[in-house]
Amino acid sequence: MKSSRVLIVAASAVTASFAVACNAFAAEPGTPASVLAMNQKPKGESVSITYVFVPKDGILAVYSGDPANRSHAKLLGKAALPHGDHRNVSIKLTGEPKTGEKLWAVIEGSSGKPFTNADGLAEQSFKVL
């Protein structure tokens, strides 16, 4: 009987530690928008954005061109995302980008205005391999 109690206490401690660990990976309130994209070879007409955190419902958009010159940027594809963190988000593009072409992913609100974080706009450039 005593060994059963020890087992129950040990199981409870392990369960509690998993709950604490899982909560540690959850985004804290007020976490800024972020996006991570790697240089990649597209799969057909799609690119994969490694990680996205959206603080409220928004849009992940992929553009070609230089982010510093937004007026000449061309929208290649987008996807609506609910708030929260997302991994390996596939974005279908309107055409297949050329090898060496520079693309950038940006998180926008429903109005089209980009989200910001401590570094400026929540965006990431990457190159087509």
Whole-model pTM: value is 0.76
Q: Which amino acid is at 18?
A: F
Return the residue matching tokens 């976490």.
31
Question: Could you tell me if residue 91 is inside a domain?
Answer: yes
Given a cut of 70, is residue 91 above it in pLDDT? yes
Question: Could you tell me if residue 28 is inside a domain?
Answer: no
103: which 2 tokens? 């693309």
Question: Could you tell me if residue 6 is inside a domain?
Answer: no
pLDDT digits (tens, 9 = 90+) for 3-25: 555 445 444 444 444 444 334 44
CATH number of the domain enclosing 94: 2.60.40
Q: Which domain holds residue 109?
A: 34-127
Question: Could you tell me if residue 92 is inside a domain?
Answer: yes
Number of domains in the chain: 1
Question: Could you tell me if residue 56 is inside a domain?
Answer: yes
**Alpha-helical runs (H) found in 26-108:** none
112 vs 80, higher pLDDT: 80
Nearest-CA neighbor of 105 among 40, 52, 44?
A: 52
Question: Could you tell me if residue 78 is inside a domain?
Answer: yes
pLDDT of residue 28: 58
Question: Could you tell me if residue 95 is inside a domain?
Answer: yes
